[in-house]
Structure 1
Amino acid sequence: MFNTKTFTLVSEKNTGGTKYGFISSLTVWINKPHVVNRRLCGAKIDYFAFIDDLQLQTKLTELTNPDTDNLKNNGYREHDLLEIDNLQGITENEVAVISRKLILKSAKDISHGPQSEIIVVETDSNLDNPEPSSYQLVFIKGSDHDESNKIQLKKLQDSEEVSSDDFGTFEWMTNTLLPKLCNWSAESKLKTSILWKKEREKKKLECLQSFVDLGCGNGLLVHLLASEGHAGIGLDIRKRKIWNMYGKETVLKEVTVTPSAENTFPEYDWLIGNHSDELTPWIPVIAARSSYTCRYFVLPCCHYDFDCKFSGKQQGLSNYRTYLNFVKEVGEVCGFNVEEDTLRIPSTKRVCFIGQDRTYPKEEESLIDDKRSIYIRTRSSSNQSSKSEADDQPSAKYQKLDNGQKWSKEFEPRDQSKEKSRNCQKIDKDIKNLIINTVFKKVLDYDKSEVRHLSDGRRWHKGGSIPLGEVVKLFDKDVLKQLKSELSGGHVQLRDMSLDEPFSKKSQLSKKDKSQYFKTLQCWFYANHPDGCPRTQVTCTFAHGDNDIKQNICDKTKVLKSDDYSVDDG
C-alpha cells in the first residue's frame, strides 16, 4: 500500500524560470535522463496517463503488481509511446502517472537489470496523495517579499539514499540534477523557433516573413516554412529527386547563384544560408545589397572565403572557430549587428549567425557599400599575390551595384558535373557487360576452382579468385579511362555484380520468407553461369526466368525488360 508520506527539505535553488518552464524541464529529465547522467543510455516509457487524483492509490497498486497486466487500462503502452510531451495538460484535480525504466550503459550496471521508476506529477504539492518515490522535486513561486522562484529537493522523512549508485544519492541530486532543472526552467522553450514571431511583434508586422534559401539542398526547410505560411523560394545548383515529393506551395529552383547585382532579392525579407558552402561569406553581402531592410541567417559548415577555400588559423583557436570569426566579421563589415547562437541540432557544426539590424542609417548606404567592396578586394585571392593602383580605389567597377558583372572576378560556383553521383551508373552498358563477362570467365577458369555440392544434388563450380591488380591487366586503356572517370574505378562495378555467400550459415539460417519477395529483376547467375544459380528458385531473391517475375504492386507502371539482369547489388 502507498500511504501519505511526510517529506523534509534537502536543498533548494533559485531559478529564473516559471512553473511552465519547470514542467518542461521535468519532461526533459523524464524522457532523456542521459543528458544529465552519462551512465545512462536513456529511458523507456512503459506507461503514461492523466488520472483523477482520487484514483492514484489504485493505479499505483496496479503498476507495482507483477501479476497484473496493469498497462492495458487508461494509458499508453509499449510501442505506442516514445516520449512524453504534454505534461502541461495536467488539470487541477488530475495527476500524471509515468512508469519508466532507466537504461544503463556499462556492462557492470546492466548486469543488475534496468531500474524501474514510478513518477507522479501533480500541480499542488500540498495534496495528501500517496507517493511512490522517496524524493520530491517541487517548484515554489516567489512571494511578495521574495520574488525569486525556487526549485526544492525533498526526501521522505527518515529515508535512506534513493540507491547506492552515484546518481541515486541526494548529494548527486543536489549538485547535478537540481542545477540542471533550474537552468532548463529558465530557458525559453523552442527559443530559436520564435525568432520571427518576436520580430513581428517588435516591428508590428501583420504578414509572415518571406525568405530565400540559398543552397537549399533537399528543400526540406523551404517546405516546412512554406507549410507554416511563409512565402519563399529555395535555390540550389542541383535539383534533388525529393523535390518532386513536395507540393506546389514549395517553390524550389535549380539555378546557379553568382554574387552580382542580378542575384539580389529586394522583394524578400530574409536570406537563409544553411550549409551554403561557397555562398556562406556572401550571404551577408547579398542581404546588405538586396535592400536596407533585408536580414539574414547563416549556418556555416564548409570553410569558404569569397573566391577560394578559406585559409588561415588564429593562434589558440580551432580552424572552425577561426572560420566562424571570419563569417561574423563579414556581417559586421556589411553593417549588421551580428548575433551568434548555437542551434540544438545533432551536428558538430551548430553555430549560426543572425543579421537582423543595421548599425548605420539608410542615408550612409553608399559609404558602407564602399567599405564592403574594399573588404572583399582585400580578401580576393588575386589581391593576395599582387596589388595595383586601381585596386586601392574605393570601389572597383566590377563591384558596382548598377551593372550585371560579378562582385568578385575570381568567384566560381561549384561545377555542377562534380555534384553528380559518380558510381558507375553512367558507364555504357556494353562496357559494363564486357567487364563483367571478362572477369567472370577469368575467375571461373581459375586453376584451383572450387566445386560445391548443392542440396538439390547439383554440382556448382564456384571458381577461384584473382587480385584486383590482375583484373586491371585484362582491359585496354580506353576501358580503364572510362572506369577512372567514375571516381571509384572498377571497385564499385565489380562489387555490385557480386553474390553474397549462399553457403554461409547466416544465409541458411535466415528466417525471412523469400518466397514472398517481389522479383523484378532476372538473376544474372541463372542466365550466365554454366551451372545456373546456386540458390533455388524459391530462395533466390531474383527471378529464374520470365515466369518467375513478380511485379511490385507499388510500381506497376515500371516496364521490366527481359534483358535486364542483376544480382545482389544492395
Structure 2
Amino acid sequence: MSRWVVTKQLECKETLTTAQFLNAVQVWIIKPQVVNKHYCGSKIQHEKNIQKVVTSFDPITLQNDFYLKKDESLEELFEYMVSLLSESSFKAVANDNVVDTVNVTLRDVIPKSLHKDAKTVRELVIKDPKTATVTFIPLVEFNNTELTDQQPPTGHTYRIRQQSGGITMEIVSTSNNDLNETATSIVSSTQITFLNNQLLPKIVTWAKSDSSKPTEVSSLTLVPIDEYSRTYNRLKQEYGQNLVAIWPETTDPLKFVYEDCAIAAYLITLWNTGSHSNEGALTKQSFVDLGCGNGLLVYILSGEGHRGLGLDVRKRKIWDLLGDKANLQETPVTPSDKTLFPDYEWIIGNHSDELTPWIPVMAARSSYTTKYFVLPCCHYDFQSKFNERQQGLSSYRSYLKFVKKVGQVCGFKVEEDQLRIPSTKKVCFVGQNRTYPRENQTDISDKITEFIASRCNTNTSMSEVAPDKSDGNSDDVIDAGARGENDSWASEFKARSNIETTRNCTHVDITITTQIINSVFHAVLGAPDNVGNLSDKVADDAGSSKESKMHDGDVCKIDTPKIDTPKIDTPKKRGNESSAVDINSRETDASVSRKGNWRRGGAIPLGDVVKLFSSDILQQLKKECGGIQTLLKNHHYIFKVVGGKVSLRHPGEVQPKIAKKRKWNETEGSVTKWQKTKLCWFNDNHPDGCPLDSEKCTFAHGQNDLKTVCKQDRGPCNK
C-alpha cells in the first residue's frame, strides 16, 4: 500500500491565501521551463472539473490502470481516469463554479533536447482547492520523436500542500520501512533533490508575490509546444551548424542564426496547424519577408518547401553564400499600391523597423486572404519615430499596443504571442483571420486611410525620419495610395538608406572628441578623492620595498583646472617624444611618478559631465546613440563609467578589449595579439605619466614600443 512521505517543508511567515498557493503551482503546471532549463514546456492535453466525494485515492493504482490502456486515444484515456476518480473519489460536474470541485489535468512535460534519453512525461495533475493540495502522478514517458514508444514512468508521484505555517513537498512511497528512514532514502533521488531544492522554493516565492497582478504572456501559445520543439531542434541540426560555419558577417552568428531558426520553426508549426489548412490537408504557405536583413529566415523557409521572397534595402555579405536557395532582392520598400503582394499568402515583418506598422496595412490591401506575421523591434510610426508612452506602461508595451491596434483597424483578429528567441523584443502579432466579410473590403480600406492620416497629421511635427518639406501641407498625406512622393500612402515616409550608418560615437569629429576627452579628464583628476589613491603595486620592481613606493607629501589633491586647459593631443597625432602635455603639473622624474602614488582623482556624475560643454557640442552628440556616455565608454582605456559616474581607469585594470562584433570569432588567448598596437594615453597625457613600466603596460610607451597592425590577420606585425 502506498503512503505519503514528507521530504521537505518550507516555512512561510506571510499569510498566504489558497488562491495565491494555487496560482503559484499553476505556473509550474503550464510553464515548467521557468524552473528547469531542460524542459521546453508543457502541453495541456485535456482538462476537466469534477465534484469531490471522498479524499482518498491510490495514485499507484491510477498509474497501473493508465499504462494497461496506454494504446487507446488520449481522450479515451483521460475520460477513463476521470471515471476511476469519480467512482472512487469524485463525480464529474459541468459547472466550474460548483463548490468543492477538483480540477483534473492531463499534461505532457516536454524536454528541450531531442536526445534519446530525454523523455516526455505524461502526468495526471489533480488540483484540490479545499485541501490546498496539488498532486502530480506520472503515467507514461516516451521519446519526443518516437511518440509510440511509451514506457512506464521512472519518476516519483509527488504532491505540494499548503499547510499552516508553510508549504510541504510529499512523495509517494511503497516501502514498509520506517517513515524517517524512507524519507532519507528518497531524498537521494535526483528528481526529489530538484523538487525539494529548486521547485519548492520557487513555489513559495511565487505564492508570496502579488497574485492580483496579471501574469506575463506565456510563450508559444499559438502553436503546439511539442511540434515546435521537434521542428526547432531539426532546423538547428539541418541549417544552424552549417550557417554558423560559413558566417561572413561581423555579428555573432550564434545569436542571429539560431534566432532565425526559432522564428522559422514557429512559422512552420503555425502554418502546419493553423486554420489555413485545406480540410486537414497541409499546404505549403507562400510568403514575402519585408526587411529580410541577412535573409536567413527566407533561406530556411524556402529550404522547407515554402515559396518565398525577401526584400531589403541593403544587400548582406551572406546573400552570396546562400545562392539561389533563397530569393533575395536588394530594393527599398515604400508602402503604396505598387507594393502589394496578392500572390503571396503571408507578409512577414521580422524586426522590419520603419515598415513594422505598415505590415498589417499591406496585408489588408493585398488581398482578403493575405495574412501577416510581425515581430516589432524599433519603434516606428507610419512616417516618423513612435514617441508615445501610455501611463503605467513601458515604451515597448506602449508600442506593442499601437502595432496591435493597427492590425485591428485593418480588420484582423490580432493574436499576440511570445517567441523564444535570444532577444528582449520577442512579442509577435499574427493576423490570419478577418473580422469582416469580403464584401466590406472597400469600407475597411477607407477606415485604414483615415487612421493613417490621423496618425501622420499628429506626428508630422515630431518626425525624426521624414525629409524636409517646403510646403508642409498635412492634407497631402494619404488618399488610398494615390498621393505623396512615389504614390506612397504617407507623403513623408522615408525608407532607410542602403548605406549602413554608424551612430556609436566612433565618427564624431576628432576635434570635438579631443576636447571632450581632455575636459572630462581634467575634471575627474581635479575632483575630490572619492575613488581613493591606487598605490601602484602592479608596476613595482621585484624586491622593491613598500617604503620606496610611497612618498611623504605626495597627495592626490590638486586644484581643479579650468576647462580651457592646454591642448593634449590624441595618440593618433602624437610623435615619439613630442607631446602637448601641461608639463608644469607633471613630475619630471618618470621613475618617481611610476613608483609613487599615482593621482587618480575622483568620480563625477554624468550629469555634471554634461554641464562642462556648450549646447553646440551637445547638439553634435545628440545624433549619436548614448551621447557622451558612449563616447567615454569608447575610451575605456582612460575612463570607467559605472553607476552613472565617471572616473579614471588605472592602466593595470585595462584588458585588451575586443569589439562585440568580433568576440564570437576570437580564440582563447588571441586577444594578446592586440597588445602594444596602440600608444599609452596616460604615458603621454597624465601629469604623473603611466604608473606601469613599459614591460607591464599593454599599451606602447612611445613609437619604438609600438607594433604595426597587419591588415591580413588583423593582428600586430613584429616590425
TM-score, normalised by the number of residues in structure 1 = 0.53
Aligned partner of residue 230 in structure 1, secondary structure: coil
Match of 1:271 among 347, 355, 362: 347
Q: Distance in 2 between matches of 1:420 and 1:493?
A: 16
Partner of residue 503, structure 2: 421
Change (3 A) 1:87 1:319: same
Matches within 5 A, 1:497-512: 501=650
Shift of 1:275: 3.2
Encode CA deviations 1:84-126: one digit per residue, 9 max, x unaligned: 72466689xxx99xxxxxxxxxxxxxxxxxxxxxxx9785448
Partner of residue 407, structure 1: 489
Partner of residue 495, structure 1: 635
Matches within 5 A, 1:10-21: none
Unaligned runs of 5+ in 1: 1-5, 12-21, 37-82, 97-119, 139-151, 564-570
Assess if the C-alpha contact under 8 Å between 1:522 and 1:562 holds in 2.
no
Q: Distance in 2 between matches of 1:354 and 1:480?
A: 42
Assess if the C-alpha contact under 8 Å between 2:708 and 2:716 holds in 1.
no
Aligned partner of residue 263 in structure 1, secondary structure: coil
Assess if the C-alpha contact under 8 Å between 1:519 and 1:548 holds in 2.
no
Change (3 A) 1:299 1:482: closer
Assess if the C-alpha contact under 8 Å between 2:40 and 2:225 holds in 1.
no
Partner of residue 297, structure 1: 373
Matches within 5 A, 1:50-449: 85-86=113-114, 124-125=151-152, 135-136=156-157, 154-157=172-175, 159-160=179-180, 168=196, 172=200, 188-191=225-228, 192-193=266-267, 194-199=269-274, 201-202=277-278, 208-238=284-314, 249-310=325-386, 320-345=396-421, 347=423, 349-381=425-457, 397=479, 399-400=481-482, 404-413=486-495, 419-425=501-507, 435-436=570-571, 437=573, 441-443=579-581, 445-449=583-587
Specify the code of the residue in structure 2 equivalent to 1:85.
S
Aligned partner of residue 369 in structure 1, secondary structure: helix
Change (3 A) 1:364 1:33: closer
Aligned partner of residue 585 in structure 2, secondary structure: coil
Change (3 A) 1:88 1:428: same
Aligned partner of residue 355 in structure 1, secondary structure: strand
Q: Distance in 1 between matches of 2:204 and 2:651?
A: 54
Q: Distance in 1 between matches of 2:397 and 2:670?
A: 56
Q: Which moved more, 1:303-312 or 1:368-377?
A: 303-312
Q: Distance in 2 between matches of 1:214 and 1:504?
A: 46
Assess if the C-alpha contact under 8 Å between 1:377 and 1:383 holds in 2.
no
Assess if the C-alpha contact under 8 Å between 2:277 and 2:283 holds in 1.
no
Specify the code of the residue in structure 2 equivalent to 1:341.
D
Specify the code of the residue in structure 2 equivalent to 1:423.
C
Encode CA deviations 1:234-279: one digit per residue, 9 max, x unaligned: 4444556666765553455554322112222233321112333332
Aligned partner of residue 374 in structure 2, secondary structure: strand
Change (3 A) 1:338 1:202: farther
Aligned partner of residue 259 in structure 1, secondary structure: coil
RMSD of equivalent CA atoms: 6.6
Assess if the C-alpha contact under 8 Å between 2:31 and 2:41 holds in 1.
no
Change (3 A) 1:560 1:254: farther
Q: Distance in 1 between matches of 2:197 and 2:620?
A: 66
Assess if the C-alpha contact under 8 Å between 2:313 and 2:332 holds in 1.
yes
Specify the code of the residue in structure 1 equivalent to 2:355.
L
Q: Distance in 2 between matches of 1:392 and 1:464?
A: 60
Assess if the C-alpha contact under 8 Å between 1:275 and 1:302 holds in 2.
yes
Q: Distance in 2 between matches of 1:282 and 1:348?
A: 22
Q: Which moved more, 1:213-222 or 1:512-521?
A: 512-521
Q: Distance in 1 between matches of 2:509 and 2:718?
A: 20
Q: Distance in 2 between matches of 1:332 and 1:427?
A: 46
Aligned partner of residue 327 in structure 1, secondary structure: helix
Specify the code of the residue in structure 1 equivalent to 2:481.
Q
Matches within 5 A, 1:549-560: 556=712
Q: Which moved more, 1:434-443 or 1:166-175?
A: 166-175
Assess if the C-alpha contact under 8 Å between 1:338 and 1:354 holds in 2.
yes
Aligned partner of residue 342 in structure 2, secondary structure: coil
Assess if the C-alpha contact under 8 Å between 1:208 and 1:230 holds in 2.
yes
Aligned partner of residue 285 in structure 1, secondary structure: helix
Assess if the C-alpha contact under 8 Å between 1:261 and 1:401 holds in 2.
no
Change (3 A) 1:26 1:520: closer
Aligned partner of residue 272 in structure 1, secondary structure: strand
Assess if the C-alpha contact under 8 Å between 1:450 and 1:464 holds in 2.
no
Aligned partner of residue 278 in structure 1, secondary structure: helix
Shift of 1:486: 6.5
Assess if the C-alpha contact under 8 Å between 1:287 and 1:295 holds in 2.
yes
Change (3 A) 1:303 1:155: farther
Change (3 A) 1:529 1:227: farther
Q: Distance in 2 between matches of 1:418 and 1:351?
A: 26
Equivalent residue pairs, number: 436
Partner of residue 89, structure 2: none
Aligned partner of residue 354 in structure 1, secondary structure: strand
Percentage of pairs with the same residue: 33
Aligned partner of residue 487 in structure 2, secondary structure: coil
Q: Distance in 2 between matches of 1:520 and 1:232?
A: 48
Q: Distance in 1 between matches of 2:616 and 2:590?
A: 37
Q: Distance in 1 between matches of 2:623 and 2:31?
A: 54
Q: Which moved more, 1:534-543 or 1:212-221?
A: 534-543
TM-score, normalised by the number of residues in structure 2 = 0.44
Q: Distance in 2 between matches of 1:188 and 1:515?
A: 41
Change (3 A) 1:543 1:238: farther
Aligned partner of residue 443 in structure 1, secondary structure: coil
Aligned partner of residue 368 in structure 1, secondary structure: helix
Change (3 A) 1:173 1:501: closer
Shift of 1:352: 2.1
Q: Distance in 1 between matches of 2:480 and 2:602?
A: 59
Q: Distance in 1 between matches of 2:345 and 2:220?
A: 32
Aligned partner of residue 273 in structure 1, secondary structure: strand
Assess if the C-alpha contact under 8 Å between 1:264 and 1:290 holds in 2.
yes
Shift of 1:407: 0.9
Encode CA deviations 1:472-513: one digit per residue, 9 max, x unaligned: 9xx999999988877757945982775975556999xxxx99
Assess if the C-alpha contact under 8 Å between 2:313 and 2:498 holds in 1.
yes
Change (3 A) 1:29 1:121: farther
Encode CA deviations 1:413-463: one digit per residue, 9 max, x unaligned: 45777943343347579x989644479824362523374549xxx999x99
Assess if the C-alpha contact under 8 Å between 1:443 and 1:464 holds in 2.
no
Q: Distance in 1 between matches of 2:599 and 2:632?
A: 21
Encode CA deviations 1:116-170: one digit per residue, 9 max, x unaligned: xxxx9785448xxxx8x8x4469xxxxxxxxxxxxx9633545455669996299
Match of 2:679 among 497, 507, 524: 524
Aligned partner of residue 441 in structure 1, secondary structure: coil
Assess if the C-alpha contact under 8 Å between 1:308 and 1:411 holds in 2.
yes
